[in-house]
Amino acid sequence: MIINRLKFFRCLGYAISVCCLGFFLWANVPALAQTPSSNGDASITPYLNRAIERVTEFTLDNGMKFIIMENHDAPVVSFVTYADVGGANEPDGKTGVAHFLEHLAFKGTTKIGTTNYEQEQEALNRLDQVFGQLKSAKKAGNEDKVKQLTETFEKLQVEAANYVQQNAFGRIVETAGGVNINAQTTPDATLYFYSFPSNKLELWMSLESERFLDPVFREFYKEQNIILEERRLRTENNPIGTMVEAFLDTAFTEHPYKRPTIGYNEDIRNLTREDVQDFFNIYYGPSNLTIAIVGDVQPEQVKQLAQVYFGRYEEKPAAPKVTKVEPSQTETREVTLQLASQPWYLEGYHVPALSHPDSAIYQVISTLLSSGRTSRLYKSLVEEKQVALVAQGFNGFPAEKYPNLMLFYAQTSPNTSIEDVAAALSLEIEKLKTEPVFEQELQRVKNQLRAGLLRSLDSNLGMGKALVEYEVKTGTWRNLFDQLQAIDAVTSADIQRIAKDTFTPENLTIGRILPKS
């Protein structure tokens, strides 16, 4: 379904708008996910403190940070390597390089994934040279030269592939009992994660440290074609994907959130192995990596092994930070596309970053309006007025390390118009400014958030991702636990204050998908 595709884009790079508590509280205090808090923060504080007591942190001399949370309920442990670099950090003209590197990080090292690295390296270097010559011939319009170089290029690809041991890194992990090996790239970060039996802690240390100490970006051109196909499926041949890209490009004028994480087609085609290597050298230094380890481990053992394996990394200069700031919007912006699709209507409003003191209020507003069948938009637009088949939204679009958007979207019902949907949505937003939210509804939303947050991260892996994300995006993992208390503290007056400041015509971007006649 189209709506599932939109959620798919959101997960693959358009950010996580959820905060969470995770496995500890879910296992120990399930009632918190089901019932209102009878006496406010005091009822959950002891459990939050107990969770915090299970967390240990340390930083190696080279700047690499580790966050460990003990959970001895089962002999398993999950690992999350968080590189503080995503689509927003890419140079102009080289969009997609962060996502490209994520693909290549599974290709192995000089020892893993090859039958003879010295010969493979020679083949890879010749392949890169011919690729450069081929680009020049295409640019010059020399068709005979292009044909000749294409044949040579294809032969070299076959030669280089002969040295490759397919999925060698993944097979080692799976043979040792590892599960959920995967990665994801967002505008803010790149995450690599998997889980092992707890007696494989040192194996993980060895594999993961080698992966980023001695990487070989083999099968580059194969992955280039795979990524181009991903883009075709997710963006160019998908109306929602096409609109998402156009919408971001309209809502943002300066900040790199305006660019797609997967990259622009032309940029992907022109990327080279050298581009990826340069990007890796700049952004994958130890001080730009944070690792979360959650499960059946002893912190002292983790620290000893980390010093042995990750302590080998040489200290590097600090990675460049995103410096572009999005100017304040001064008037409504609009983008309308005619596509082979049913009509869709989108509204986006600029909101602060996750680290902002009011982030919990924005989350409550987003949930109140647009999360699930009990939300105001679903009840009004879908059930009562029947102007929409779908009416949803979320906060933190396309990501939330920097100021971003609160997005709402709806698919029109048959025999209704985009204008009908826009009017109905506007009415619900205006109510937030003028009518206080009743305490019963506000408490229901808080309970819904609490339950969703706990359920969404009822695993070691989920908790690891949350800890490291809050550490990097807000300055400390402790803000993860503070966020639930901040949600409980949100009042009706807070909602009205933020609604009046946020939902203004000057702060609005509108997107419309109209069907081709």
Is residue 432 within 8 Å of 4, Cβ to Cβ?
A: no
Please give the Cα distance from 243 to 372 (Å, whole number).
23
CA atoms within 13 A on the CB side of 29: 21
150 is a domain residue: no
Please give the Cα distance from 195 to 78 (Å, whole number).
4
Phi and psi torsions of 388, nearest 5°: -135, 145
pLDDT at 381 over 60: yes
Which of 30-34, 36-40, 159-163, 484-488 has the largest mean confidence?
159-163
Number of domains in the chain: 1
Please give the residue range of the domain that contains residue 445.
2-17+325-515
Please give the Cα distance from 311 to 257 (Å, whole number).
34
486 is a domain residue: yes
499 is a domain residue: yes
105 is a domain residue: no
In the chain, how long is the greatest CA-to-CA distance? 79
Q: The CATH number of the domain where 488 resides is what? A: 3.30.830.10
pLDDT at 36 over 60: no
Supply the angle between the helices 273-283 and 97-104 in degrees, to the nearest 10: 90
467 is a domain residue: yes
Give the 3-state secondary structure percentages of the chain, helix then strand then coil, rounded to 5: 55, 15, 30
Please give the Cα distance from 91 to 275 (Å, whole number).
10
160 is a domain residue: no
pLDDT at 487 over 50: yes
| Average pLDDT estimate for 100-122 | 96
CA distances from residue 354 to 24, 255, 395, 400, 505 in whole angstroms, order as listed: 23, 16, 10, 5, 23
> If DSSP codes are grouped into helix, strand and coil, which group holds residue 303?
helix
Tens of pLDDT, residue by residue over 253-295, are 999 999 999 999 999 999 999 999 999 999 999 999 999 999 9
217 is a domain residue: no
pLDDT at 77 over 80: yes
pLDDT at 177 over 60: yes
Supply the angle between the helices 439-456 and 359-370 in degrees, to the nearest 10: 100
355 is a domain residue: yes
Tens of pLDDT, residue by residue over 290-316, are 999 999 999 999 999 999 999 999 999
Please give the Cα distance from 364 to 360 (Å, whole number).
6
| Average pLDDT estimate for 92-110 | 97
Is residue 293 within 8 Å of 79, Cβ to Cβ?
A: yes
- Mean pLDDT, all residues of the chain: 90
Q: What is the DSSP letter of 302?
A: H
Can you list the positions of beta strands (E) in 331-461? 333-339, 344-351, 388-397, 404-412
